[in-house]
Amino acid sequence: MQKKMNDLWFKLMALEYRLKSRSDSIRQELEAAGIRPGMRLLDFGCGPGRYTLPAAEIVGAQGAVYALDIHPLALVTVDKEARRRGLTSVCIINSDCETGLDAESVDVVLLYYALHDIEKKEAVLNEIHRILRREGRLLYKDYTNLVSLMLSSGFYLSAETPVQFLLKKY
């Protein structure tokens, strides 16, 4: 089981994200990665919603963005901000691994800056593989390069940029 971050550390992280991140640049990054209206997307380890909320704006009401995190404060933060912005496509999932989503039901998974903190990496990658549609995409950014682990979990490297890896499900 994954240990959750303490509340103070989470609040400091959320503040750092707010100070460093510009919503319009994140939106452009997501659009460049192929996020489109109507898609179903999972933000695994969503934190305070730095990527969740711009993704929800892109996919619109006809799509869905699942915000998964182990930290209750993260989910409260995302839910509150989504409601404030009128984003109806955001669904909250409190978990460290299991999503509760149907097999092959998600187009894209964002795994940004979370995998390094996860103890049971293989279990998480297996769950991501299970819920991704055939040819679904896993977008990965982190402090550590764990692409070899992903390759052994049923993904293949489709593209690489200086800041992210695009992996697809076999």
pLDDT higher than threshold 90 for residue 141: no
- Selected residue with higher pLDDT from 51 and 23: 51
pLDDT averaged over every residue in the chain: 87
Q: Give tens-digit pLDDT for 67-125.
A: 999 999 999 999 999 999 999 999 999 999 999 999 999 999 999 988 888 889 999 99
Q: Yes or no: say if 157 and 167 are a contact pair by the CB < 8 Å rule.
A: yes
Q: Retrieve residue 8's tokens.
A: 């103070």
Strand partners, 92: 67
Domains of the chain, with CATH numbers?
A: 7-169 (3.40.50.150)
For the stretch 18-40, pLDDT in tens is 656 556 789 999 999 999 999 99
DSSP classification of residue 47: T
Choice between 145 and 162, residue whose per-residue pLDDT is larger: 145
Least confident of 35-49, 60-74, 136-150: 136-150
For the chain, where are the E strands, in sequence order? 40-44, 64-69, 90-94, 106-112, 132-141, 155-160, 165-169
* Model confidence, pTM: 0.84
